[in-house]
Structure 1
Amino acid sequence: MDLYEHQARELFAHHGVAVPEAEVAATAREAREAAHRLGADDRGVVVKAQVKTGGRGKAGGVKRAADAAAAEITARQILGMDIKGHTVHTVMLAQPVDVEREFYVSYVLDRAAGRFTAIASAEGGMEIEEVAARRPEAVVRVPVDPAEGVTEAKAAEIAAAAGLPEDVAPVLRRLWRVLVDEDALLVEVNPLVRTREGAVLALDGKVTLDDNARFRQARWGEEHDTAGLDPLEAEAAAKGLGYVKLDGEVGVIGNGAGLVMSTLDVVAGCGARPANFLDIGGGASAQVMADGLALVLGDPAVKSVLVNVFGGITACDAVAEGIVRALDQVRLTKPLVVRLDGNNAALGRAVLDAHPHPLLDQRTTMDGAARRAAELAASAAVVA
């Protein structure tokens, strides 16, 4: 789960990382009032689009306003903008800072190595990607053992390797606490700055939380919203389904993340593009299957749907009952290919045979089912 910048800053402040005073506004009028409270009439204010993507500055989503009246006009210009497919629903107004130097720091999970990596540079800011491309030696990567964490010695090592001032090291330790205590997969600050007064502040922040840790992070519910999600992803989240929208034409449903990932690969190997990732889980009920199928069929980009289930905890007859229930609730206008194997597979196939549908096609192997779904999607695309 990605956080908005203002949410990330709240976490930073909670863990002792200094941030400029700021407020969030959903309307231009609210922006003017917030700017006034922040003292914009004396020193101006920065108006920043709140979207879960980078590149806001270059897209015109971050602007300086001279006073509260100008902040209202600027907010009106930014609200409603489309930035890389994300619509701006709120803006954050922050007190401006007299910056002396800009840095880049982050912690990110390295799944392959089973550890975290600290990434840092003494040249942060909007051009960090160009710095990394032109002079990769200016961006250092330091492995962090999760069991050891970022101790004083490790923080000093990271700072020294990146050429960061010594007074940045304590901030590195606090950012590590954000990552650990909040169950984050990514914590990034760009830029982390030193002001002309000598303070070290986080001017921007990006945090990705681990959804698997939601059960022990009760307050996430207060911070989570679906405004930045694709509508289908938001609907899936409301139903507790593990759904990710992709850019293809074959809808994919399976039970278990590993099986779904394998199915995506097989579909791609058949010359088609998966339209989504949807895992109905290891113990999915018929209702879950019905909800998942209705969700995938609701995607206008989908030309065919492939249901690939290996029965274990989830019995295939329950999956078949879910498909039948979904077909009672949703008018099937796209080809549906079903492969059932494992626990009660024969019974599941019998359930589907007892409820025939002209657009439903059963196959006994994953390769055969994927190949058929790809063919049907291609045929539908030609007809369209």
Structure 2
Amino acid sequence: MKLHEYQAKQIFADAGIPVPDSRLATSVAEVEAAVEEIGFPAAIKAQVHVGGRGKAGGIKIASDAEEASQYADEILGMDLKGYTVDRVLVEAGVDFVNELYVGITMDRGEGKPVAMVSTEGGVDIESVAEETPEAIAREHIDPAFGLHPFQARKVVYEAGIPREVAGDVASILTTLYDLYESRDASEIEINPVMITSDDDVVAADAVMNIDDDALFRQPDLAELEEETFSDDLEKKANEYGFDYVRLSGNVGIIGNGAGLVMTTLDLVDYYGGEPANFLDIGGGAKAERVTHALDMVFSDPNVDAVVFNIFGGITRGDEVAKGINEALEGFDEIPKKVVVRLAGTNAKEGMEILNTDLVEVEETLEAAVQRAVQNAQEVDA
């Protein structure tokens, strides 16, 4: 479960991490009232679960009331990478001289949490990790003992953080790990931590993702779940009980099992396409669940073609075929071309049931993915 920036910042503030004065607003009038209290300059920040909000026009700095009203009107209601902005965080501007990155995540290769610190704050940390990995200092953490103070100091100094603020940055890192552990987070970061000319450190952004399977231990965070959805697709996925992640491409993907779906995503990319989503319908999926999955993918305006990849174990191919037929027969016109690949339990029976007037059928996964990518490219042509 992803928290919005304003939600994560409240948790950070409660834990003692310095954050700018801010107000949440859902209308231009509320933005105008907020900047009157906060003063200028003020940042108007879209609250959606996407990166690169600033480059996409979702963050603006207002220097006066007129600009604040103008930016609020531009951002509220805008489509930001497929998400409709329905709320903004109005935040006091920070006069900074430097930007840093600090974060905690799980290093699955090592099987341990890892603390990361970099002087390359304010930019996409994934790009930094890929292009200049030496710019990120790392320290693995034994979960049995937690992040020791000397480890926090060590990784901060290895990152080249100036001595004047190193102690405060190490303190923030320690607090982040405490939150990571106590709040069952899967990822927690600040990008950037802003350094002022007076050597104050301020969390200018906040990312905090919570392990869904641990929400029963975090009842106060579980109450925020509905508020974290940024669009109807995420709400629909939650209602249907799907593992769903929206991506930036145009090839819709449906499969049963996380590994199978990930393989399909990789093949779409390999054959020159761009995946639009990760959608795992799970094992033992009945016709109704398959119908819901197609409803999800068809509801995404970015999707131009769909590939359905099912390997039957618990899931029966004939049940999947029934679901596909039921879903598609309800349309006067099929909104997107659907390519189906069935294998495993009752796959032969499923292939016989499929209405080939409604779907395209391929025997192999590679062929199914290539056809779906081609279908999507033809739409874009």
TM-score by length of structure 2 reads: 0.79
- Point out the structure with max Rg over C-alpha: 1
Deviation at 1:23, TM superposition (A): 1.2
* 2:359 corresponds to 1:360: yes
Corresponding residue for residue 258 of structure 1 = 259
Which deviates further from its counterpart, 104-113 or 360-369?
A: 360-369
Corresponding residue for residue 90 of structure 1 = 87
CA distance, structure 2, for counterparts of residue 127 and residue 242 of structure 1 = 26
Equivalent residue of 1:293, what SS?
helix
* 2:44 corresponds to 1:48: yes
Which of these residues, 333, 338, 341, is aligned with residue 339 of structure 1? 341
CA 1:50–1:145 in 2, change beyond 3 Å: closer, same or farther? farther
Corresponding residue for residue 10 of structure 1 = 10
Q: In structure 2, list runs of 5 or more residues that go unmatched.
A: none
CA 1:295–1:157 in 2, change beyond 3 Å: closer, same or farther? same
Corresponding residue for residue 222 of structure 1 = 224
1:137-182 CA-to-partner distances (Å, cap 9, x unmatched) read: 5542333344443121211212222244223322211111222223
Equivalent residue of 1:204, what SS?
coil
Deviation at 1:122, TM superposition (A): 4.7
CA 1:14–1:313 in 2, change beyond 3 Å: closer, same or farther? farther
Cα RMSD for the two superposed structures: 3.9
CA distance, structure 2, for counterparts of residue 193 and residue 281 of structure 1 = 43
Corresponding residue for residue 61 of structure 2 = 63
Q: Which amino acid aligns with 1:262?
A: T
Q: Which amino acid aligns with 2:167?
A: E
Equivalent residue of 1:317, what SS?
helix
Corresponding residue for residue 172 of structure 1 = 173
CA 1:130–1:343 in 2, change beyond 3 Å: closer, same or farther? closer
Q: What are the residue-to-residue correspondences of 1:101-112 with 2, within 5 Å?
A: 102-112=99-109
Deviation at 1:80, TM superposition (A): 4.6
Deviation at 1:20, TM superposition (A): 2.9
Equivalent residue of 1:318, what SS?
helix
CA distance, structure 2, for counterparts of residue 232 and residue 209 of structure 1 = 20
CA distance, structure 2, for counterparts of residue 91 and residue 215 of structure 1 = 29
Q: How many percent of aligned residue pairs carry the same amino acid?
A: 41
Deviation at 1:98, TM superposition (A): 5.8
Q: How many equivalent residue pairs?
A: 373
Q: What are the residue-to-residue correspondences of 1:178-327 with 2, within 5 Å?
A: 178-193=179-194, 199-218=200-219, 219-225=221-227, 228-229=230-231, 231-246=232-247, 250-268=251-269, 273-299=274-300, 302=303, 304-327=305-328
Corresponding residue for residue 149 of structure 2 = 152
Which deviates further from its counterpart, 75-84 or 187-196?
A: 75-84
Deviation at 1:46, TM superposition (A): 1.8
CA 1:203–1:371 in 2, change beyond 3 Å: closer, same or farther? closer
Q: In structure 1, list runs of 5 or more residues that go unmatched.
A: none
CA distance, structure 2, for counterparts of residue 267 and residue 83 of structure 1 = 24
Equivalent residue of 1:225, what SS?
helix
TM-score by length of structure 1 reads: 0.78
Q: Which amino acid aligns with 1:106?
A: G
CA distance, structure 1, for counterparts of residue 341 and residue 124 of structure 2 = 49
C-alpha contact 1:49 1:88 (8 A) present in aligned 2: no
C-alpha contact 2:254 2:278 (8 A) present in aligned 1: yes
1:12-44 CA-to-partner distances (Å, cap 9, x unmatched) read: 123222223321112222123233444x3xxx3
1:108-133 CA-to-partner distances (Å, cap 9, x unmatched) read: 33333333332223564569899989
Equivalent residue of 1:309, what SS?
strand
Equivalent residue of 2:315, what SS?
coil
Deviation at 1:225, TM superposition (A): 3.5
CA distance, structure 1, for counterparts of residue 311 and residue 87 of structure 2 = 44
C-alpha contact 1:5 1:50 (8 A) present in aligned 2: no
CA distance, structure 2, for counterparts of residue 262 and residue 133 of structure 1 = 22
